[in-house]
Structure formats: C-alpha cells, structure tokens
Structure 1
C-alpha cells in the first residue's frame, strides 16, 4: 500500500522542517509528502529521501478546507495520512496507520503528545519527546486495543488522521464553504457519520505537537467562528462549537440573535485575549479551563462535559 502524507502550511517554516525531518526517520517511509502552501513563496525544505510536492495556493484568505483538499486530491497514494504542520510524526506513525487500516477500514485518528516550549531547540529526539510530552486533557486516551471505535463524530480531529483516497473522495473532502478558523473539522466528522463510515482511535500512530502560542477558546477568530457556526447549522440543522460560543457569550462578546444564531456585540479586548492566551509553561491551551473560570465568575453551574465515546475494536 502506498502512503501519501498531506499537510497544509502558512508560515511556520521551522515547524514544517521538523515535520519533514520526522518523516525522514520513519520506520516505513511514505511514498510522498504533499503540502498545500497558503502563501506566495514555496518552502526551502531538506531532502527526506522521498518526493515532496508543494501545491501553491497563494495567500488570498485562509481556507483550511481548500488547502487540505488540494493536497489530498493531488496525492497519489492509496492511504492518505493528514498531519498538521506543527506535528512531528513518531517513527512508527505510518506503519501504525497501515497496520490499523488492515483491520479497521474507515477514518483513523492517532495519538498526539504535546511538547513544551523549547522541546525541539536541540533537534529531534523522540526518546526525549516521549518523556516530556503530555496528552491533551480534553481528548480521549489511546484505546485498550490496537483500535477503538469512536461513536461521536464531534471527536473527529484533523490534526493527525488517516483514511484511503477512495474514502476521502466518497465523502467529498472538506467543505470549502468554511472559511477561516472553526467548524470544518466537525463538518467533516458529520459527513463521515452521514456516509456510514466508521471513525476509530488508534493506539500509536503518534504525532508530537510542537509548541506555539495560541488562544482557546479562539477569540482571535471570533468572526470566522460565528460565520462557520452559522454555516454548520444551516447545513445540518444542529449547532456546533457550543463550548466556544458559550464562552464568548460569558465574555460579553456575543448574544443570541433570536433566530437560532448569534449577534456579535464587540471585538475581544485585552482581558479576553489574556484570559484565553496560552502561557509559555503550558504545552497546550484549554477551552475547558477558561470556560470553567467564566462559569465560576458568573455563578453558573458548569456545562455538562462531553466525554468522547469509544469502544474497543
């Protein structure tokens, strides 16, 4: 089985270089790496020993769905492995996905370990990464067996996943009506469910997430989150990103518009940016912690947590 790795990139040249170097250390190398490049200039990258193709998309707006689709539909492999640009694949990632696919066809999601700031300063050291990485507190752990069926499409996460090119084409790829940040992942998960395609966690297939500053909930993408939430509701007749929207409302940034949508009240200020900003001693930003703080300040009972549904397979 031929394997194409697909990613998308805008800036973050060091992150992409580390992704390429990680792939070069793979126990089972991919047939190729295909990059949806969301900027004017191509990247100068090391030679990993297999073809690297850059699909130039320019920088006219950020459409993550379009970039993923461009890479996927240009890929020549039968199995597509998607990694975000800030991921460094473990040496066994591709082999783990190939083995999991042999027993569990469908959409597969591997493990992710979050690295602290400075973890890659001395180069790629997988033994060190494994010692210092942490699992995201809001994601499911690895399944007890080689794979575990996920019964909640909302758990789909495009950071690190795999599926065949045939399945990707059958689903239709990512919906390019989602522009900017938010919603396109959950929409893809919803399409998987609508097509009756199984979604599974994989033990292994691990990627190490490189540190970068971020905001959660993503107040810096308030406009696109609101627009994409409306797009999802119009398409599927149900809401999405409700934990983010709940936090935005508690911050006083939005209010219900009376028609099932949301009305923006103001731009986020320094208080909201400071509240949601990932600190340098944190390997990841947490929406749940911010939402809990906001609910506590408002004297509200916390929203019911959504536990990822998983059964052994």
Structure 2
C-alpha cells in the first residue's frame, strides 16, 4: 500500500524539520510527504529517503480546510496520513496505520502525547519522548483492550493525527472549504464522515509526539473565525458547535447571544490573552480549566 503523509505549514520551520526527521526514522517510511506551504516561500528541509513535495500556496490566511484538501488531492498514495506540522511521528506510526487499514475502513486516529517546553532541544529521542509525553486530559485515550475501538461521537474527530484511504477521503468530499481560518472544520468533517456511514476509530499506536509551542485555549486569538464557523456549521447541520468556546467568550464579555446566534461585543485584549495563554510549564492549553474558572467567577459575581 502506497502511503502519502500530508501536512500544512506556516512558519514553524523547526517543527517541520523534526517531522521530516521523524519520518526518516520510521520502521516503514512513507512513499512521499506532501506539504501545503501557507507562506510565500518553500522550506529548506533535511534530506529524506522519500519524495518531499512542497506546494506553495502563499498567504497564511488561507482556510486550514482548503490547505489540507490541497495536500490530499495532490497526494499519490492509496493511504493518506495527516499529521499537523507540530507532530513528530513515532517510528511505528506509518506501519501501525498500514496494518490498521487492512482491517478498517473510514477514519483512523492515532495516539498523541504532548511534550513539555524544551522537550526537543536535545534532538529526537523517542525514549525521552515516551517518558515526558502526556495525554491531553480533554481527549479520549487509546483503547484499553485491543488494537482499536470505534468512536461513536463524530465530535471526537481530531485532525492532528489521523489516516484514511484516498478513496474514502474523496468519497467524503474532503474538508468543507467554506470554513474560514480556525475552528469547527474538524467537527464538520467528523459529521460528514458519520453522515455517510463511515466509521471513526481510535487506534492503540500510530503515535505522534506534539512539540511544545505557546497557544491559547479557548482560542480567543481566533475569535472572528470561531464565530463565523459556528454560524456556518449551524446553517449546514441545523445545530450549533463549539459551544464550550462560545460560552467562554460570552463569560469573558466578548460575545452576547443574539437570537439563535451571537454578536461580537469587542476585540480581545491582553487580559483575555493572559487568561487563555498556555503557561510555560504546561504541555498543552486547557479550555476546560479556563471555562471552569470563568463559571466559578460568574457565580461569585
């Protein structure tokens, strides 16, 4: 089975170089790596024993959905493995996906472990990564028994590390390119997969290590796109999404309910960024902790 790894990148040159080096260490290397480059210039990357193709798309403001589709549609593989640019694949990731694809149809989602700040400073060391990496507390874990388990809630779909056949991806129609920027496109894709009768599966293995970078959760720095995409999802499916983020933004005084939707009240300021900013000692940012704090303060007010 021919395998194409697909990623998209804007900045993050060091992260992308580590992703390439990780694929070079694979027990079963991919046949190609396709990069949707969301900036005007291509990257200088490590040499690799597989074909690396960079598709320069230009500006960073291109929807993530369109960039992912561009990489997938340019790929030649029968199996498409999607990895975010900040992921380092474990040596067995490709092999695990190929093995699973012999038995499973639909979407396969591998494990993710979050590395602390400085986790890659000394280079790629999978023994250290395994010791330091932690699972995200707000994401389901791998199956406790067996190589995989079915995910029965489309909202659990996570594009950070997943795979599916090119045929299945084409049948679903790819990511909906009406979604702008960041937010909601994953949930919409999961909904499309489920609505067409395809299954979503969590795998034991196919592991990726998430490289540390500062982030905001809830993603207040993407307020406009989250709000726009919530409206698109609601119009498409007749029900809302990203409710926990929108609730947090209401409590922060950024939005208010307006009939069946929301109305923006103001731009985020430094207080909002400070509240949602991932701290240096955290391997990942947590929406749940911020929302819990906001709810408690709203009760006390």
Q: Sort the TM-score into its range (normalised by shorter chain).
A: over 0.9
* TM-superposed deviation, 1:62: 2.9
- CA RMSD, aligned part only? 0.8
**How many equivalent residue pairs?**
299
Equivalent residue for 2:202?
201
1:109 pairs with 2:72: no
Note the 1:82-93 alignment, pairs <5 A: 82-93=82-93
Equivalent residue for 2:37?
37
Contact kept, 8 Å, 1:77 with 1:165, in 2: the verdict is: yes
1:12 pairs with 2:12: yes
Equivalent residue for 1:305?
none
Equivalent residue for 2:238?
237
Question: Could you tell me how far apart the structure 1 residues matched to 2:244 and 2:102 are?
Answer: 36
Equivalent residue for 1:188?
189
SS at 1:35 equivalent: strand
Contact kept, 8 Å, 2:10 with 2:60, in 1: the verdict is: no
Equivalent residue for 1:283?
283
Question: Could you tell me how far apart the structure 2 residues matched to 1:68 and 1:74 are?
Answer: 10
Question: Could you tell me how far apart the structure 1 residues matched to 2:60 and 2:277 are?
Answer: 27
Equivalent residue for 1:226?
227
Question: Could you tell me how far apart the structure 1 residues matched to 2:238 and 2:55 are?
Answer: 34
Instruction: Point out where structure 2 has 5 or more consecutive residues left out of the alignment.
Output: none
TM-score normalized with structure 2 length: 0.98
Note the 1:244-283 alignment, pairs <5 A: 244-258=245-259, 260-283=260-283
Contact kept, 8 Å, 1:82 with 1:159, in 2: the verdict is: yes
Question: Could you tell me how far apart the structure 2 residues matched to 1:268 and 1:74 are?
Answer: 37
Question: Could you tell me how far apart the structure 2 residues matched to 1:71 and 1:211 are?
Answer: 24
SS at 1:266 equivalent: coil
* TM-superposed deviation, 1:60: 6.0
SS at 1:298 equivalent: helix
Question: Could you tell me how far apart the structure 2 residues matched to 1:86 and 1:270 are?
Answer: 26
Equivalent residue for 1:69?
69
TM-score normalized with structure 1 length: 0.94
Instruction: Point out where structure 1 has 5 or more consecutive residues left out of the alignment.
Output: 301-313
Equivalent residue for 1:54?
54
Question: Could you tell me how far apart the structure 2 residues matched to 1:175 and 1:75 are?
Answer: 18
Deviations 1:129-173 (A, max 9, x none): 000000000001111210100000000000000000000000010
Deviations 1:254-286 (A, max 9, x none): 01111x111000111222111100000000000
Equivalent residue for 2:179?
178
Note the 1:102-181 alignment, pairs <5 A: 102-143=102-143, 144-181=145-182
Question: Could you tell me how far apart the structure 1 residues matched to 2:62 and 2:171 are?
Answer: 25
Question: Could you tell me how far apart the structure 1 residues matched to 2:180 and 2:287 are?
Answer: 21
Question: Could you tell me how far apart the structure 1 residues matched to 2:54 and 2:19 are?
Answer: 14
SS at 2:267 equivalent: coil
